[in-house]
Chain A
Amino acid sequence: MAAPVVSLQAHCKLLLHAAKYPHAPVNGVLLAEDNKNKESKVVKYVDSIPLFHISLGLSPMLEMALLQIDAYCKSKGLVIGGYYQANENYNDNELNHVAKTIGRKIQENFHDACVLMIDNRRVRAESVSQAYRIFTLKESGWKEADKKSTSEDDISKEECLYTLLKSGSQRQLRDFDNHLDDVGNDWRNLELNDIIGRCT
């Protein structure tokens, strides 16, 4: 299976989430185009929805989040197709129990689901390149996809993210935890999507 394509919007939002809470673990889901009827073999992540930065390992709020996001996806021709996570400890960049469990749950609904583990050491103020490793579920467990060489696309992603970080855009991001604190906080982050759209 070919490596998934991560859109600029999905890429930037997940890294902005990690940047907003540098001292905490963060996680979220990736939305893919629902390709059930099409022949395409490549998974395309078009958006990411930031979920939590508190107690990643507890299930009730996660269940509610997935229910809401799933209902939203169905109305947009999208599907929850992936998961990302950044661990709390700077040096802890391994796929842990929480990531594997949630990843498996998503894979049950979307066969080609991937887990993106953010490597904390590669997220720096001046540059964020190859910031996450991509894992897919095989017979023997979660295996890392081969690293591809840097493409033009990657460079424009880096530049866009750099601009966003410099202007402090991560402060505008609203994750599901923010939503639970105040329901007016919109986890779709439409304004941020606009800003990212104007980056190119």
Chain B
Amino acid sequence: MAQRVSFDEARTILKKFRDEQTRDSDLVVSLWDNVLANSYHKLGDDLWLVYEQVCTAALDCQRFDLAELCISSLDHKFPKSIRVRRLLGMMYEARGEYTKAEEEYKNILEKDETNMYARKRQVAILKAQNKIPEAISKLNDYLKSFMTDYEAWNELCDLYLSQHDYNNAAFCLEELIMSNPHNHLFHQKYAEIRYTQGGNENMDLARSYFAQAVKLNPNNLRALIGLFLAALNLSGSSSVMAKDKKLNLKYATWAAEQIQIRYENQQSEEQLSETKVLTCMKKLVESLQTP
């Protein structure tokens, strides 16, 4: 598949992956092997970024030959670089040699105790060994010093979710929302966590946050669906006051219309009718409108 790609296309794809932090290691390695390896001198300054990118992709694919090539080229150009030593640490991790990896990161931290990458790799080592509570503890420590690291808060949230600690997972999202109040994805994920916890209070919170996500990005389908389901749940709940039930039914109906518009505009006739999306949603709304 990668054989038919030109040099320029390959270069553009790799840059896109770096910008969007896409993890498609198979393709990256394939592009290097088939397209870039023989013309790497044409990459200019990009070469070093590409070596780093190909190295991590190679580790994902257990291509240690390729990873070693990248590391030695980088080492030659940037001797004694901590950034290169981190890649060496990651290679030990990929081989399952966690003690060696841990040593490498400890050495980096002795030279530079503010190196956030080495500290995060230490968390990764624990996660790889399925030592989730320890990973959570270490990541919490890390965040005490680096509290604006969004990636870390997200990772901590996912670690808590894997332990069904929804309250702490929600707390992580609260931190993210506080520092990024305009990011619709954070509002949406927070709402999903509250929805999952269940109960009227959480459902109410979920509905508000889904609504805020929709306000920030009207095209966020997950937020629209969440708004629809949360409002539907509240309007059907026995312990919600009548006036709130009515209000929630209005929200649910509005959200359903928005979802319908998107499906009708973006799906083919066949797909729309075969997958019965609209009928199923209509039924749900109608079931609540009958008093």
Contacts and interface: CB of A to CB of B under 8 A. Distances in A.
A60 B195 contact: yes
A75 B280 CA distance: 11
A60 B130 contact: no
A184 interface: yes
A61 B277 contact: no
A26 B94 CA distance: 22
A184 B266 contact: yes
A29 B169 CA distance: 26
Interface stretch (B65-73, B112-120, B223-231): B223-231
B279 A183 contact: no
Interface stretch (A10-18, A40-48, A89-97, A147-155): A89-97
Contacts, number: 84
Nearest to A184: B266
Contact of A58 (B193, B262, B284): B193
A64 interface: yes
Interface residues of A, number: 30
Contacts of B128: 89
Given A71-B277, A183-B221, A184-B266, A59 B23 contact: no
Interface residues of B, number: 38
Contacts of A57: 161-162, 164, 196
B82 to A, nearest CB: 25
Contacts of A71: 275-277, 279-280
A75 B225 contact: no
B267 interface: yes
B61 to A, nearest CB: 9
Contacts of B281: 67
B225 A61 contact: yes
B276 A61 contact: no
Given A60-B192, A186-B271, A55 B276 contact: no
B222 interface: yes
13 contacts: A23-B25, A57-B161, A57-B164, A57-B196, A58-B196, A60-B195, A72-B274, A72-B275, A75-B274, A168-B1, A183-B267, A186-B271, A188-B274
Given A23-B25, A71-B280, A75-B276, 5 more contacts: A58-B192, A59-B196, A61-B226, A72-B274, A168-B1
Interface of B: 1, 23, 25, 60, 127-128, 130, 158, 161-162, 164, 189, 191-193, 195-196, 206, 221-222, 225-226, 229-230, 262-263, 266-268, 271, 274-277, 279-281, 284
